[in-house]
Amino acid sequence: MTLFTQQLFNGVALGGVYCLAAIGLTLVFGVLRIPNLAHGALYMLGAYVTYFFLTTVGVPYVAAIGIAALILFVLGVLLERLVFHPLRNAPHTHHMIAAIGAMFFFQSVAQAIWGADFRRMETPISGSLHILDAEISAQRIVIIVTAVVVLALLTWFIKRSIHGQTIEAIEQDRTGAALVGINPAMVSMLTVGLSALLVTIAAGLVAPINLLSPTMGDSLNLKVFAIIILGGLGSLPGAIVGSFALAIAETMTATYISSAVGEAVAFVVLVAVLAIRPTGLFAKAVQR
Amino acid sequence: MLSLENISVGYDATDVLHGVSISARPGELTVILGANGSGKTTLFKTISGLLRTRSGTIEYNGQTIQRTRANAIVKRGIAQCPEGRHLFGKMSVEKNLRLGTYPHRNRIRTEEILHEVHDLFPILKEKAAHPAGSLSGGQQQMVAIGRALMSDPSLLILDEPSMGLAPLVVDQVLESIAQINRNGIGVLLSEQNAKASLSIAHRGYVLAEGRVVLADDADKLLDNPQVQAAYLGL
């Protein structure tokens, strides 16, 4: 029972990380109608920039994540403006090729600056808490709390603030949005910037638990794509539920079967969902 | 004052509008009559900046706007309620209306216009929390008109607002449009229902195959034998 509770908390913490990564990806899909294959590379850069500010510059942990998130926001805006925007009327394959190009570019930049070796980001938050009969590391508590707070803020932003509502307006009707004075180009930049900001928070939170490497984004990329397909492309609740479901399934499988199977479980679930319900669990009604 | 001088617009290789010149005076209700495919929707999309002209100029209150983007045109005071409505179907009626205020985002003005829209269409107050997509066609049309009004326009463009609606609802919608115009907002309306629309309009144009074939005061058009033969079945 102790092991189970322990792993449940680990799963929830991992779910929080996936969630922050998946929500940005699903928003970008909703607004730009493209799968941003460079999302994992943004996650990797977010981790390295956090690492840079924490260890090289020496700012406090939370500030390092904040600065990195803002830097990545700007980078996301630039990525939209310089790569996706010029291709907005091109066939979708062009976007995917460009995104993969951006991914390799980011990985090369990280490798040129920080080298190809694994790096460890020291855990700035130490200690652990006893909850029920399990011992939960403080880092995981921080991950869970931050994920919940960020999700609440994001939900408020998208549902309540007029600038956030423009994101949903564009998703639901591009022409209607333009006719009420919303600038689709601005919203596209905002959305990619926001997705980079969110994935950086995820990266900064999980970096002390995992190792940093220029290719660390690849497996996350695959998993968040599995999550947003599982949840239904473009669906926010789908991305949230999908993240936690997948993370808990992964953690439990790794604990009770084997860690190799744990890594594979995401794709087993994905294949099963695609076979039974190809539009995903929370599919938005197909928009014509 | 909106004036289009000799504009040509097209998709791909073919032009849909050939040298069209029309104007809409401030505060007046101008109606564009024409059969399906005569170019009414193309004309309106061009004014709103969703399509580009190939030649000719569009001026609004003395400024050239034919190169201005759609989202910037709304800020100039021209709001369009498009064919097919283009509502945000999963958002509530209230949110749809409030998003209409995006060009100005003035809190006091928002509440004032929201009040006016609710006076005009009381059902929208009742259905405020319902998703716009769940409403009937006539009610959705009211949301679309209301959303366009929320931008506080000086000119409201309505592309066939009565399309697909039951006759009783059509009368109601046209009456609201006349009321909006009486409140001082210029209206540019496209219609197939010539008699009903001319009877509330000041001026009218008849569009056929992308050209203006008739332009006159609304009451003169009502008496025009060509119009009577083509649209009024007399």
CA distance B25 to A145: 59
User: What is the average per-residue pLDDT within B151-163?
Assistant: 94
User: What is the average per-residue pLDDT within B197-221?
Assistant: 92
List beta partners, residue B186: B155
The residue type of B164 is G
Q: What is the pLDDT of residues A179-196, one digit of tens each?
A: 999 999 999 999 999 999
Query: Which of A168, A179, A284 minimises the CB distance to B86?
Result: A179
> Looking at beta carbons, which residues of chain B come within 8 Å of A181?
71-72, 74-75, 102-103, 151
CA distance B113 to A56: 55
User: What is the average per-residue pLDDT within B156-171?
Assistant: 91
Checking if the pLDDT of B233 tops 70, the result is no
Half-sphere exposure of B210 (CA within 13 A, CB side): 14
Checking if the pLDDT of A16 tops 80, the result is yes
Q: What is the pLDDT of residue A84?
A: 95
The residue type of B29 is L
pLDDT category of residue A287 using cuts at 50, 70 and 90: very low
Question: Beta-carbon neighbour count of residue A191 at 10 Å?
Answer: 25
Q: What is the pLDDT of residue B232?
A: 67
User: What is the average per-residue pLDDT within A61-81?
Assistant: 96
User: What is the average per-residue pLDDT within B119-125?
Assistant: 95
Burial of A285 (0-12, 13-18, 19+ CB in 10 A): exposed
Q: What is the largest distance, in Å, between two alpha-carbon atoms of chain A?
A: 57
Q: What is the pLDDT of residues A204-229, one digit of tens each?
A: 999 988 899 999 999 899 899 989 98
Checking if the pLDDT of A129 tops 90, the result is no
Chain A interface mutation, best of B51, B102, B157, highest count of A Cβ atoms under 10 Å: B102
Query: Which of A162, A173, A284 minimises the CB distance to B102?
Result: A162
List beta partners, residue B215: B205
User: What is the average per-residue pLDDT within A121-141?
Assistant: 82
Determine the distance in angstroms separating the CA of A78 from the nearest CA of chain B, rounded to an integer.
22
Q: Give the DSSP letter of residue A232.
A: -
Q: What is the pLDDT of residue A202?
A: 96
Q: For chain B, how far is it from start to end, CA to CA, in angstroms?
A: 34
Q: What is the pLDDT of residue A233?
A: 84
In the CATH scheme, what is the code of domain B2-232? Answer: 3.40.50.300
CA distance A116 to A113: 9
Higher pLDDT, B98 or A275: B98
CA distance A184 to B71: 8
Helix (H) or strand (E) holding B188: strand B186-191
Q: What is the pLDDT of residue B234?
A: 56
Instruction: Search chain A and give the residue with CA nearest B73.
Output: A181
User: What is the average per-residue pLDDT within A146-162?
Assistant: 93
Share of chain B above pLDDT 70, in %: 99
Three-state DSSP state, B23: strand
Q: Which residue has the tokens 């002390």?
A: A208
Strands B55-60 and B2-11: antiparallel
User: Domain boundaries in chain A?
Assistant: 2-215
pLDDT category of residue A283 using cuts at 50, 70 and 90: low
> Looking at beta carbons, which residues of chain B come within 8 Å of A184?
71
Share of chain A above pLDDT 70, in %: 98
Closest by CA to B150, choosing from B102, B215, B87, B222, is B102
Q: In A, residues 170-209, which contact B (CB 8 Å cutoff)?
A: 172-173, 175-184
Query: Which of A175, A181, A182 minimises the CB distance to B82?
Result: A175
Instruction: Search chain B and give the residue with CA nearest A181.
Output: B71
Q: What is the pLDDT of residues B49-83, one digit of tens each?
A: 999 999 999 999 999 999 999 999 999 999 999 99
User: Domain boundaries in chain B?
Assistant: 2-232
User: What is the average per-residue pLDDT within B97-104?
Assistant: 94
Instruction: State both tokens at A203.
Output: 């990266």
Q: What is the mean pLDDT of chain A?
A: 90
